Amino acid sequence: MAATHSALCKRGYAELTMQDIADESELSKSALHYHFDGKHDLLVSFLEHLLDRFEERIAAPDGEDPAERLHSLVDTMVTPPEPRSDGFQTALLEIQAQAPHDEDYRERLERFDEAFVSRLRSLVAAGVEDGTFRADVDPDEAASLLATYLKGVQMRHVAAGHSLERSAAVIHRHIDERLVAGETTVVTLE
């Protein structure tokens, strides 16, 4: 999977070939074809691998209370898992663009979305339950909105170079102003 990652970063989705992946690995192209029917099959397996890594990344955000954990999760989502991952983020966006036309990609990407929204929902619900968040906050609506914000932040960063830090500050401010009960500390834009 490391070879697939490396080849995707270098070539992008549209230009990626099995030979590119073989060149990044210790396997021959024929050995790759022994394990995978083709580029599509390999990329579906790669998405499965990414989903496992993603679920590990979001499983236990740092923090003493649900608000801190939610802020930590926002920071996790706007911080690339590896430095200089712009090429990979671009390739992943290209794969996402194929999802409306490819059921296998769409199914895997839906699982990413479900895992992410579920994690957000559980943090918001815990905050409502323990009084960290306002009692009138709907965990489903808040999770859906935050997921949409965060996905938009990532897409705008990759596609148009928008600042992750500035966008994250807006989301942090939304959490503090709209979700947190009582007195809040507002994150300001610099």
Q: Give 83-102 pLDDT, tens digit per residue.
A: 556 667 777 788 888 899 99
Range of the domain at 15: 2-179
Specify if 63 maps to a domain.
Answer: yes
Give 26's contacts (C-beta < 8 A, 6+ positions apart). Answer: none
Residue 12's pLDDT band (boundaries 50, 70, 90)? confident
Specify if 121 maps to a domain.
Answer: yes
pLDDT the model gives residue 78:
87
Long-range own/partner contacts, residues 140-148 (CB < 8 A, 24 or more apart): 142/179, 143/117, 143/118, 144/117, 146/70, 146/74, 146/120, 146/171, 146/174, 146/175, 147/113, 147/116, 147/117, 147/120
Q: What is the pLDDT of residues 15-33, one digit of tens each?
A: 889 999 999 998 899 998 8
Domains held by the chain: number: 1
How far, in Å, CA of 119 to CA of 57, rounded?
11
**Does residue 4 register a pLDDT over 90?**
no
Give strand pairing partners of 2: none
CB 81 within 8 A of CB 109: no
Specify if 187 maps to a domain.
Answer: no
pTM of the prediction?
0.84
Q: What is the mean pLDDT of the chain?
A: 88
Phi, psi of 63 (to 5 degrees): 140, 150
Across 29-48, b (16+ Cβ under 10 Å) vs e yields: eeebeeebeebeebbbebbe
Residue 183's pLDDT band (boundaries 50, 70, 90)? low
Say which CATH number the domain at 169 has: 1.10.357.10
Specify if 43 maps to a domain.
Answer: yes
pLDDT the model gives residue 91:
75
Specify if 188 maps to a domain.
Answer: no
- DSSP for 72-123, please give it: HHHHHHHS-SSTT-HHHHHHHHHHHHHGGG-HHHHHHHHHHHHHHHHHHHHH
Specify if 38 maps to a domain.
Answer: yes
- Distances from the Cα of 14 to the Cαs of 4, 11, 107, 188, in angstroms? 13, 8, 20, 40
Specify if 40 maps to a domain.
Answer: yes
Give 162's contacts (C-beta < 8 A, 6+ positions apart). Answer: 153, 156
Specify if 159 maps to a domain.
Answer: yes
CB 12 within 8 A of CB 90: yes
